[in-house]
Structure formats: structure tokens, C-alpha cells
Structure 1
Amino acid sequence: MNTRFTKILASLTLGLAILWGLTFLGTAVSHLGDDGAVCVKTGFWANATLEGGLPVGQGVEASSSTARLCQNNPSTAQRAADLGGQLPWTLFASVALLLFSRLLDAVVSEGPFTDKVARRLTVLGWFVTLGTPLAGLVVGWSQSWLAASMVPMLDSGPTVSDPQVLILAGLAAVIMGKIMREGVRMREDLEGTI
């Protein structure tokens, strides 16, 4: 096993986790202090023909029937919902990279087939499995609420974002963690027998 490469990869993923975390914080702070418009896209009227344009609220500009809605003077709740549409995936990526970095550190310090590595792989797998739909729901709900706040008659309901394939990767990591934990237990039993 090439521990030098694994150490470099662990350092790189830790650096990326920190970078994503700083991006998360910077975006949140700068966006909350911003006084510009917030925008959201909705395809609610994609197949509709509406006389007189879209039924938008006061201060909202709509660009087409596959609407890009922009609120010029957003409320605090609208600004928070806009952040809810942007930041969950950034936070998810930061935490996933941090967990992966910790997994690689355990591989470097103790070797790949240890209980610590198996536990960290399982934690990473569960985080990806449960965090993917949770982040997708937060994004979907935030965007739906923001669109509904700009168009009073709109209630499009929650949606989930696209990267749901990550759930399979997370479940694979959970299963591999369980297999590795069982392998570690069997190795310890074998060493105790000999």
C-alpha cells in the first residue's frame, strides 16, 4: 500500500473540506448582508397559456412561462429560502470530504483492515445515504417555498434534487464498512487461535 499517496490524498481532501466549509460560511454571510434581489426558477407554468402574464406578487419580475422569478426587495424569510436553495449541497460536500479525510487518516495510521477504518467507512456511508435525500429535500422545499412566496396562488410542493445516485454510493460504503468490520473480527479471532 502506498502510504505517501494516501497521506497526500488525506491532506488534499481535508483542504477541500475546509475550502467548501469556508465557501459555505462566506456565501451565507455575504448573502444575508446583501440587499439585492433573490431569484428562483419554476416550471409550474411551462405548458400554460396565461392571458395578461404570470400572476406574480407585488415587486416580483417574471421572465417567461418557465419562470425565473425575482423579488426585488426580499423579506428575511425569502432571503433565507434562497440560501436554502444554494447552501445544502455545499455543506454536504464539506462534511463528506471531512469524513473521507478522517477515513484516509485512519488508513494511514492503522492500516486499511482495522475496526477504526471500518467504523469510519460506515459513518461516511450513512452520512452520504441519509444526507443526500435530506440536502435534496431542503433545496427543493426552499425553492418551492420561495416560488410560492412570490406567486401567491402557487403551491408546487416539495421536490428533490438530482444527485440521488449518491444514496447508492452511501449504501455501498455502509455495506463495505460492515464487511470490513466482520473481516477485522475474523482476523482477530484467527490471531487469537494461532
Structure 2
Amino acid sequence: MQDQKLLEPIITVASVALRLLMALMVAAFILSTVHGWGSGSVCTTDWTSNSSYAARDFVPEPGARVGSVPRYCAESATTAQNILANLGPLASLALSVGGLFLLNLLLRGASRDGVHTLQTATRLRLLGWWLLAGSVAAATVAAVSRTALLASLARGVDLTAVSWFQAWNAPYLAIFTGLGLLTFARITRAGSRMREDLEGLV
């Protein structure tokens, strides 16, 4: 009971956030099913362009210059283009929902079994690996899908390792948070073993 009090209010917040995200995912799935994936317009910018084009409708201050980046849009996007446009946000949403689920599992298990236990250390380690590997995977999926979408809309742009690496944004915060959780999992595991040894001596 004492451990449960220590873990509030994060247990309640994680539980409510998980339920809200699940409801949003169900609503988004229903809307996408009703409206279909093969219609509408999708757009993307060409970040691979080496030089920006001058924007004639804007007048900069002396000593400043203005440029524009090409933006490609499909007036009637195909199903494949709609999927590519939504893969990045879906991967990010899946990472968030999975992280909240594991966080909720960790907190409820810790309140039930205790904070300084091997079970809590295992769940903490699982959450750390989810954030570390999942964030890198989600960023990679977003970069590849964004590059593939641009390649389907712009001539002269191909889906290559160089082009998708240019679109890849490293999730530094999630990576360092995952590494921190893995470290705390090792500390918790060591502490739980010391506790078990002390209880065995008593």
C-alpha cells in the first residue's frame, strides 16, 4: 500500500492517457475506413533540394534573403501514397501507445509487488528497450515513408540510403530516456538482490 501511494499520481495519469489514446486510435481507424485511403490530397516538401528558389512575392530587409522549398502535392492520391503519408504518424502513435501501456504495466506491477523487486526491474528494462529501439524504428519508418512518398511525386528523386538518411531525425530524447531507464533497471535489480540477501540473513 505504501508503494502505491509513492507511485501516485503517475499511475492515474498513465492509465487515463492510455485509455484516451486507445479511444483516439479506434476513432481514427473508423474514420479512415469510412472515408477510404484512396482519395484526398497528400503533400510533402523536397528537403533533398540543394538550392532554394527565390520567392518573388516577398521582399526581405536589406542584408537578408528569402527562399522557398519545393512542395509536391498529389491532387488525387493513390492508396499507396496515402499509406506512405500516414506511416510516420502511425509509427509515432504506436510508439506512444506501447510506451504508455508498458508504463502502466510497470506502475501497477510496482504498486502490487513492490518497487524494489526483480519483477519491477524486468518491467523497467522492457520499457527502456521499448523507448530505445522503438523510437529509432519509428524514426526510420517515418524517414523511409517520407522519402518514398517524395520519390512517387517528384522526378529525379529516388528512394536511396542517402535520401532517407537525410530525412531521418534522430530521437535523442527518447534514446537517452531509454538508456536512463535501462540504467535504473540495473540499479533496481541490484537493490532487489541485496534486499533478498539481507532478508535471508535475518
TM-score normalised by length of structure 1: 0.82
Structure-1 separation of matches of 2:48 and 2:104:
41
Aligned length: 181
Return the match for 2:164 from 157, 164, 167: 157
Structure-1 separation of matches of 2:43 and 2:29:
16
Q: Partner letter of residue 15 of structure 1?
A: V
User: 1:100 aligned to 2:107?
Assistant: no
Structure-2 separation of matches of 1:44 and 1:65:
13
Structure-2 separation of matches of 1:187 and 1:142:
49
TM-score normalised by length of structure 2: 0.79
Q: Secondary structure at the match of 2:157?
A: coil
Q: Secondary structure at the match of 2:72?
A: strand
Structure 2 residues without counterparts, runs of 5 or longer: 55-66
Structure-1 separation of matches of 2:89 and 2:28:
9
Q: Partner letter of residue 188 of structure 2?
A: M
**1:1-194 counterparts in 2 under 5 A?**
3-4=4-5, 6-31=7-32, 33=36, 35-45=39-49, 47-48=51-52, 65-155=68-158, 156-158=163-165, 159-194=167-202
Instruction: Report how far residue 25 of structure 1 moved.
Output: 4.0
1:96 and 1:139, CA in 2 relative to 1: closer, same or farther beyond 3 A?
same
1:114 and 1:171, CA in 2 relative to 1: closer, same or farther beyond 3 A?
same
Q: Secondary structure at the match of 2:43?
A: strand
Structure-2 separation of matches of 1:4 and 1:85:
38
Kept in 2: contact 1:99–1:120 (CA 8 A): yes
Structure-1 separation of matches of 2:30 and 2:43:
18
Structure-1 separation of matches of 2:27 and 2:141:
19
1:164 and 1:101, CA in 2 relative to 1: closer, same or farther beyond 3 A?
same
Kept in 1: contact 2:132–2:174 (CA 8 A): yes
Kept in 1: contact 2:21–2:97 (CA 8 A): yes
Structure-2 separation of matches of 1:8 and 1:157:
41
1:37 and 1:66, CA in 2 relative to 1: closer, same or farther beyond 3 A?
same
Larger CA deviation: 168-177 vs 105-114? 105-114
Q: Secondary structure at the match of 1:157?
A: helix
Matching residue of 2:64: none
Q: Deviations over 1:3-49 (max 9, x none)?
A: 34635421321221232233334334534615210112232225155
Structure-1 separation of matches of 2:180 and 2:170:
19
Structure 1 residues without counterparts, runs of 5 or longer: 51-63
